[in-house]
Amino acid sequence: MGDERDVWSKIFGNNRRKDQKLFLIALGVLGILMLAFGSLGGRQTPQPPETKVLSQSETPVKADTAKLKTLDEEEYLAKRLETMLGQINGVGAVDVSIRLEGSTVSEYAVNVTTDKRVTDENDQEGARRVTTDQSESGQLVVVRAEQGYEIPVMEREISPAVAGVLVVAEGARDPRIKAQLFQATQTALGVEAHKILVVPKKL
């Protein structure tokens, strides 16, 4: 009986070793196939949504274009004044040039938080000392636009002062028309008299 058990154990033992080897080989092949198919047709990891950032060129106030903005405002005011002065009887052709001291300044709403601390203490000699510390911090008030951008809330715009006005008109040869042009310019722009010059246009 002992010899028969030894024979059977050798047979089944060899078969088990072969099965284990085949099983390990099959696992290895399966792993290689999975890696190959995964690299070819695997799903890509989804990227997080892009965060919209308001760049400096898209902000409401552009410091780098302040000069261009001033020129645009000067041209706009000059064209409007030309249209009004041209409607005065006897003026004829008229050209206007306006110089501003700067560009329009926009002021934006700010939430201000005030932090006040009062310290009441007595020193070693028994004297009472009260110390007050106060600090303020501000946060810009913004609204969210349809595109998802945050836009500051503007409270008011401060127009620049007029540095000078030049009016060149055909009718300025007539003292009466010249006086009307002068008065109309001063009234329309609210500017001081010494900043206005009215001259006749070359024929």
Same domain, 84 and 164: yes
Same domain, 64 and 100: yes
Same domain, 5 and 38: yes
How many CB atoms lie under 10 A from the CB of residue 198? 22
Q: Is the residue at 73 inside a domain? A: yes
Nearest alpha-carbon partner for 193 in 181, 179, 182: 182
Nearest alpha-carbon partner for 196 in 170, 169, 173, 165: 165
Element (H, E) at 169: strand 162-169
Q: Which two tokens stand for residue 39?
A: 């690299």
Domain boundary, last residue among 11, 28, 46: 46
Same domain, 111 and 129: yes
Same domain, 98 and 166: yes
Predicted confidence (pLDDT) per residue in 88-125, tens digit: 999 999 999 999 988 788 788 888 888 888 887 777 77
Query: 185, 85 in Cβ contact below 8 A?
Result: yes
- Residue 41 is predicted with a pLDDT of 43
- Residue 105: phi and psi, rounded to 5, are -105, 130
Same domain, 82 and 179: yes
What distance in Å separates the CA atoms of residue 58 and residue 154, rounded to the nearest whole number?
16
- Residue 155 is predicted with a pLDDT of 80
Same domain, 143 and 124: yes
How many CB atoms lie under 10 A from the CB of residue 109? 15
CATH number of the domain encompassing residue 171: 3.30.300
Same domain, 39 and 129: no
Please list the alpha-helical segments (H only) found in the chain. Answer: 2-41, 66-85, 175-189
Nearest alpha-carbon partner for 168 in 72, 78, 71: 78
More confident residue, 61 or 84: 84
Same domain, 61 and 143: no
* Domain region containing 28: 1-46
Q: Which two tokens stand for residue 136?
A: 């303020």
Please list the alpha-helical segments (H only) found in 125-174. Answer: none
Q: How many domains does the chain have?
A: 3
Q: Is the residue at 51 inside a domain? A: no
Predicted confidence (pLDDT) per residue in 128-182, tens digit: 877 888 887 778 888 887 777 888 888 888 888 899 999 999 999 999 999 999 9
Same domain, 99 and 170: yes
Q: Is 174 helix (H, G, I), strand (E, B) or coil?
A: coil
- Mean pLDDT, to the nearest integer, of 33-39? 55
What distance in Å separates the CA atoms of residue 160 and residue 194, rounded to the nearest whole number?
18
